[in-house]
Amino acid sequence: MRELTPDTVTNAVLEQMATTPDPRMKEVMAAAVKHLHAFARDVNLTPGEWIKGIEFMTLVGKMCTPARQEFILLSDTLGLSALVNGLHDRTALEEGTHTSLLGPFYREASPKLAPGTQIAKHVKPGTECVLYGRVTGVDGKPLADATVSVWQTGADGLYDIQENASSVDYRGVFSTDKDGLYVVRTVRPRGYSIPMDGPVGEMVKAQKRHGMRPAHIHFLVGSPGYRELVTALYLRDDPHLADDVVFGSSDDLAVDIAPSDPECPIPGLPSIRFDLKLSREGEADKTSGRVGSDPSAILKGENAKVAAPAPAAS
């Protein structure tokens, strides 16, 4: 039996994992082992620090519920979600509207609403606004019956899923008309702090980071034959537009609320106009998935399947 050392253990692990039948799983796991081992060597990781790391990841897992995904929050605050999102963007056939993060508060079960319906159940005076625009292909062709799902925080800076896992508010699913027009009645979004009561929040506080996200409205847009668009619009006057704690904001997605827009489909209300351009669907879009998920779907294991091992030779 050979003696393993810090210099030889990595190759030993890779050799034992070399029988992995799924080529993509083999590639990803081999790279993960190489980088994890290199990280430990680089910082000269101590046993106490290793245990602290395990304790932290254990606490992150314990915080995950059907209404809260602490691991997505961790990925977001480390910039990993933004990185994976950017890598995914490179596989698009053409450049459409820039993407942003789905975030940890997306829900599959959102109500389908008629154009112009107010998505907030309770509206404070002076906060209402209209969100509208056209969904087109990169070529400018209007996309009729495209699905436009939106969600945002309430007046208190919380998502419905944070306040009550069974309630549905400040979100809805709309369809475009024959000219690709979508119309949403909503309220001015608010900037907010990410949840700071869990292990990720403790990490952010230990790093002396503010934990704030700029005010924004999430979008998930789809149309047959086109690449699904996950994006968000950010209010340009928010003080944290340039230092979003999850690295999701960008200048090209920043918008202003117009106090009076003669083209607004609902006259008399402030409005945000933003047109959305979808790239044509490519082969990569059929298998790659999206960066994020409904928290309840992750607990059910509905987002990814580990390849089954090949049957043993008889």
Over residues 115-127, the pLDDT tens digits come to 999 999 989 888 9
What are the tens digits of pLDDT across the range 127-181?
999 999 999 999 999 999 999 999 999 878 889 888 887 789 999 999 999 999 9
pLDDT at 314 over 70: no
What is residue 299's predicted lDDT score, i.e. its pLDDT? 77
Task: Render 231-290 in DSSP notation, one character per residue.
Answer: EEEEETT-TTSSS-TTS---GGGEE--BS--TT-SSTTS-EEE--EEEPBP-GGGGTS--
Q: What angle do CA 255, 257, 260 make, to 5 degrees?
A: 135
Q: Where are the domains of the chain?
A: 9-45, 70-299
For residue 17, pLDDT over 70 is answered with yes
Percent of the chain with pLDDT over 70: 95
**Residue 293 pLDDT class (50, 70, 90 cuts):** confident
Instruction: Report the alpha-carbon distance of residue 116 to residue 312 in Å, rounded.
Output: 58
Cα separation, 226 vs 92, whole angstroms: 10
Q: How far apart are CA 161 and CA 149, in angstroms?
A: 16
Radius of gyration of the chain (CA): 22
**Whole-model pTM?**
0.88
In DSSP terms, 112 is beta-bridged to 173
- Any idea which fold 70-299 has? Protocatechuate 3,4-Dioxygenase, subunit A (2.60.130)
70: left (phi over 0), alpha (psi -120 to 50) or beta: alpha
Coil, helix or strand at residue 189: coil
